[in-house]
Amino acid sequence: MTTLLQSFNARTGAPHPEALSASSSQDIDDSVRAAHQAFEVWGSSSGAQRAALLRALAEALEADRDALVPWADLETALGAVRLSGELDRTCFQLRRFADLAERGVPFETLDDPAVAGAPPVGHPAMVRQRVPLGPVAMFAASNFPFAFSVLGGDTASALAAGCPVVVKAHPGHPLLSRRVFGLIQQVLQAQGLPAGLVGMVQGAGVDVGVALIRHPLIAAGAFTGSTRGGAALQAEANARPRPIPFYGELGSINPVLALPKALAARGAELATTLAGSIALGCGQFCTNPGLIVLLDDPESDAFIEQLTRALAAQKPHPMLTAGMKSAFDAGVRQMMDQGALALLAAQGAAPAPGPHLLQVSAARFIERAALREEVFGPASLIVRAASQAELLAVLAAVGGSLTVTLWGADDDTPENQALVRAATAIAGRVLFSGVPTGVAVTAAQQHGGPWPASSAPMTTSVGDAALDRFLRPICLQDAPAWLLARHGVPC
């Protein structure tokens, strides 16, 4: 395995003087075995115990804000304001899952009393409840160093479900990850909980992640990142002698379909809003609007001019890593090689990329699969369609997306119904106003979608239902009174 791990200044590329050691095979095995031992305690913990831990973790993050935010900014260049807000969101997630655990959501049961008589009408007494899966391998994301990282939503929801977690920290912010992990260990010690309840491994290569997902005591995997990386880990999860569920939130191009009616009413306003969304966070959002679908229409022509001017005024900050900047440049070149015309190719101020806007016909977009690949960064591809049928064909060609945005589908018409059907067929979330960047942590949220947006489109990685990923249904038939008296809390 790789033996060294290096932190870099995201703005200058300068390495931090402290070299870190990557986790060895023994480190990984020790972390997983410690999580497995902790599961004996945590799997049968009460909602109150889980809530107390999650709230204490939120308090620890808030208390260390003045140190955590500068470390995060150094390693990601995302800016102190954005990162402080993300820390708030992370604490909100922790407390929300604490509330769910305290309310007994993980322990909800379905009572199906016995019915006298022969089958199929008659049946024994049955109770359906859920049990936690076991230790979860959690793969932290690069672009959200708090909210999708060591103490992010996957960790919070797994702990609320009764599952220990072993985090594979992202190599883009190793020093921040180490500090957050130190806070976790302090909280666990203060509450008298096993240190192995939350473990962490690190490494810049793929070997650490592969070893973690292969470990026979890991019961599930949760991942946020690229389609390529997620697909590789999912293959490993499926290839195990005993396959495990793998919940990957992967790549997405998040189409924004703008109809002439909406553009005629608010074209300039929508162009400004969309330009800000494309460049937000240097385009490093999983919900970044990478595809703009327009009809061939004078309103669309005017909108493209407005969007080009608005996007040219954006000044993205440096990308998270030099490797991501190289991948972004390669992705833009690939779109041009596939026939996309560059409408805007701003140079930016090194090492920050400039925003890019490209255009292609619907026919070419449908024909060339390479044009449908995610370009992670401040770029968007305009697809011009000649008809309603081509609009539908473009959405079908996307295949799977976290989001689809429909501007102008406000009236109940056969055409709009067809667009809504097409959007819901490929997306986990359909918007009718606003932009897709920004994912609310709430009860109705669905952050997932058909492949390649996610590996398990029936689940969400954001919102209350994220808890469900780490709970397995089980039926208790003719259970004794003492077991039913536990009200869904596992033994």
> Of 102, 249, 299, 390, which is the active-site residue?
249
Inter-CA distances, 405 with 292, 394, 491, Å: 9, 13, 45
User: Between helices 47-63 and 80-102, what is the axis angle to 10°?
Assistant: 170
Task: Report the alpha-carbon distance of residue 63 to residue 455 in Å, rounded.
Answer: 36
Q: Are 220 and 420 in contact (CB under 8 A)?
A: no
> Of 86, 286, 373, 390, which is the active-site residue?
286
Task: Report the alpha-carbon distance of residue 146 to residue 136 in Å, rounded.
Answer: 18
Task: Report the alpha-carbon distance of residue 250 to residue 224 in Å, rounded.
Answer: 6
Q: Are 186 and 151 in contact (CB under 8 A)?
A: no
Residue from 420, 368, 373, 422 nearest 393 by CA: 422
How many residues are given for the chain?
491
Residue from 428, 478, 50 nearest 247 by CA: 428
- Name, in order, each residue with C-beta under 8 angstroms of 6's C-beta and a sequence gap of 6 or more: 15, 16, 19, 20, 174, 204
Task: Report the alpha-carbon distance of residue 467 to residue 380 in Å, rounded.
Answer: 33
> What would the DSSP string read from start to end of 32-44?
HHHHHHHHHHHTT
Map residue 157 onto helix, strand or coil: helix
Q: Which amino acid is at 338?
A: Q
Q: Are 267 and 473 in contact (CB under 8 A)?
A: no
List b or e across 378-411, with b for residues whose CB sees 16 or more CB atoms inside 10 angstroms.
bbbbbbbbeeeebbbbbbebbbbbbbbbbbbbee
Q: Is 286 a catalytic residue?
A: yes
Report CA Rg, the chain.
24
Q: What is the 3-state secondary structure (H, E, C) of 209-272?
A: HHHHHHCCCCCEEEEECCHHHHHHHHHHHHHCCCCCCEEEECCCCCEEEECHHHHHHHHHHHHH
- Name, in order, each residue with C-beta under 8 angstroms of 129's C-beta and a sequence gap of 6 or more: 107, 108, 109, 110, 473, 474, 476, 488
Provide the annotated active-site residues.
249, 286
